[in-house]
Structure 1
Amino acid sequence: MKWNKDDTTWTLSLFGTAIGAGVLFLPISAGMGGLIPLIIILILAYPLTFLTHRGLCRFVLSDKNPSDDITGVAGNYFGKVGGFIITLVYFFAIFPIVLIYSVGITNTLISFVVHQMGYENFGSSSLSRIIISLILVGILMIISYLGENVVTKIMSYLVYPFIAFLIIVALFLIPQWNTSLFEHISFSGVPGGHGMWFTLWLVIPVMVFSFNHSPIISSLAVHEKKRYGELADKKASKIISRSNIIMVIVVMFFTFSCALCLTPHDFALANKQNISILSYVANKFNAPILEIIAPIVAFVAMSKSFLGHYLGAREGFNGIVRKASGKNISEKKLNIAAVIIMFLIAWFVAYENPNILNIIEGIGGLVLVAILFLMPIYAIWRYPALKAYRNIWISIFVVVFGIIAITAAIYGLV
C-alpha cells in the first residue's frame, strides 16, 4: 500500500487534534523540574503516544463491520449496558474539551483585539460577548457539520501554519539559549522547586493531554476499515506513527528551545502567573512580535483541536441516542441533532465563561486516560478477537503509565 494524499490528510488531522493549546503549557510543566524530566519526556513521548492510540484504533478495527465506530464496537464487546456506559463515558470525556476550547477561542479573540489592537471595550458587554461567541462557535460548528472529509481537510490546512509558528518561535529563541538548564542536574530536583520525581509525576498528565488525539482515532479506524478492509490495521498504524513522529519532533524542539532560554525559576513564575510560555517569553525578552503571535497561535491551535474533538463528541452523542432510544435513527438526523444541541451548549458556555474549566478538564482527562490507556488493554486480554494484539510488556508499560497519569490528575484536582 503506497502512501497517498488521503494518508497525509489524516496524518495532519491527527496532529491537529492533538497539538492544541496544551503545547503552550507543556514547557512550563516540564521545565520546572530541570533537565532530567525533559529528557525523560523526550524518551517517553513517542512510545507512550503511539502505543496507546494504536491500541484504541485496534479496538475499533477488531470489529469487522466497516461502519462500527467505537460506540458500536463497545456495545458488541461489553454488551448493551456495558456498551452504553462506555459510550456515555466516552462522550463526557471529550465533550467538556469542546466546551473548554469554545471558551478559550472566545477569550483569546477578545484579548487579542483589546490588548494587541487597542479596542478596549471589545467584548466588554454581555451583548457583544453573546455575538462574538455566537459567530466563533457557529463558524466552527458549521464546518463540523459539513462532514468528516471537510473537517480533516481544513484541519490539515491549519496544521501547516501552526507547525511553522512553533518552529519559527523555537528558532527565534536560539540567540537567548544559555546553560542554566544544565546547572543543578540532580535526581532530587532543582533548588527551591519540587523534587524531580514529583515534577515528572505531575507532568505526565500534561504530556498525555498535549499529545492526545484519541477523539479522532475512531473516525480514522472506520475510514480505514471501509477503504482497506483486512489491511486497515497496517495502514492506520503507519498513519498514527508518522503523525506521532511529527508531533514529538515539533513539540519537543519547541519545548527544549524554551527550556534552554529560561531557568526552572522562570518556569515556576510562568506557572504562578498562569500564562502560556509564549506570553512569558515575550514579557521576559521584550519581544512585542511574540505578544502578537501568541494569541494567533493559541487561536489556531484551539480551532483545529475543537474540530477534531467535535468528531469524537459527535460519535459519542450519536451512540448515546441510538442506544437509549433502541431505534435505528439515520446518520443525517443524528448529525443534525448533535450539531444543534452541542452548538447551543458550547455557545452558552462560551458566553458564560465559567471558572470551573480546570475541574471539567481534570475530570474529562481522568476519564479519557481510562478509555485510552486501560480499556483497550482490558479488551485485548479479555476477548479472542483481539488475541493477535496481546503483548505482555507493551500492556504493562501502558497500564503503569495510565495509573501514573490517573493518580497525578487526581492529585491535581484535589
Structure 2
Amino acid sequence: MPSSLAWIDHDSKARERTLRILSLFQEKESRDELGLGSVRDSFADQLFPGTSTIQTRLRYMLFVPWIYHSLEEKRLSAENFAIQADKMERVLVQPLMDSDDQAGVFGKTAGKRLKRLPSSVYWAGLGAWGIRITPFSQDEYHRRIDETYRRRKALKVREKDAKARGDDIDVEQRMASLSWHPRLPTPPEDFPSTVSFALSREETEFIRDRIQVACPDSLLSFLAMHCEPADTQAPWEHPDYGRFSEQHKELLTHARLFSEVMHGASLSYNVQLARLRNHEDLVAEHQVSFDEWTANLPLEEIRAWSVSRLWELTMDHGHTITPQTRSFVQQWIDHTRKSPSDLLSNAEALTLIKRREMKLKGTRSRFRNQRALEQWGGYSGVGRLVYRWPNVKVLLNDLYQGMNREEQC
C-alpha cells in the first residue's frame, strides 16, 4: 500500500505542515532524515512567523485575498466558489511570466497545470499576519461561504435596527463577519490580467503594519521595520545583529548552535549510507565535508551550551518535540562534546544515527531496505539549518523595494 500524507480538513496549521513536508521531498539538501523538523520549525516560527520554505514572493500575500475578496463581492455560491478561485489563481501564471521579474512564479514550469496553488501555500501565513480574518481552513472557508453571506445580511439588518434606535454598532460582530482585513488595499484595475511582483508603497505599508501588529516581538517584525535587506547565509550573520534585542540574540545563538551540532549528525548519516553503498567517491566527498565541519566547529561554545535552555526556548511553541527527539539530540551533543573528530569511528555515535533513522523510517529505512538504499540520491539533509532564511530574505527584499517605490504598481 503506498504511503500518503493528509490533514484534517478544518485544521489549516496541519495543512501548512503537510505542504511543508511535501516540499522537503523536492529539496534533497534539506530533507529531515533524522527527525529534527519540530525543533527547526519552532525556531523558525518564533523568528519568522507566517513564513514557510514554500513561499516565494511577498505580493502573493495580496494576490490571494484579492482573488477571494472579488469572488465574495460577486456573492459567488459555495458550489462554484472553489472552482472559480482555482481558475483565477491559474490565470495569474501567464501575466507574471510576461513581467520583467519571473523569479518565484508559481507555475513557472507547469503553467496553468500547476498542482500547488499559491492560496494553499500562503493560507497559514495570511492568518498569522492578520490579513486573513476568517479562522477557517481554506476548504472550510469555501464550503461555508454561503453561510458567511447569510451572516453578513443578518448583521446588516441588526445594524440598521440599532441605528434606528440610536444604539452603537457592534464592531466585534462586524469584524467577525469579515474574511479579510478591512484595510486590504484595492487591487490594480487590470488585475489579474496584468500583474507583477512589484508592491506599491500603499501595499507595502499595509503588509508591514500587519506584521508589526500581528507579530510585534518577532525578528521578522524588527527586520521589516528597521533594517535593509542583507544577503547573508544565515540570520545570525546579519550586519545589524548588534541591534537585535537580547531575546532575539539568545534565540539565534541557540538556533546557530543547534544548526552547527546537528549538521554533523546529517553528515554522519550520509557517510554511513555512502559506505553501505560502497560508493568510494561519495564516501570521500562526505568525509571532506565532515572534516570541514569538525575543523570549524565552535567546540568551546558547544561544551558550554545549556541544552536545557534550548528546550525551554523551543518547546510549547506549536510544535511537539518528543522525548525521543530530545534524547537523540542530547546524546549526539554529548558525543560531539567529547571528540568530534572521532565520530565517524565511534561505534556508539554511528549506531545512534542508524537507530534514529530506522526508528523514523521503519521498513523504508535505508539501513534495512536495499531498494531504498539503491534509490538514495547520494545527498540527504546535507544543508545547514538556517530556519527559512533564504525565503525570508526574498520577502524582506520585496518589502524594502516597495517601501522605496513612489508610484503605484
Larger Cα-atom Rg? 2
Provide the TM-score with structure 1 as the length reference.
Answer: 0.29
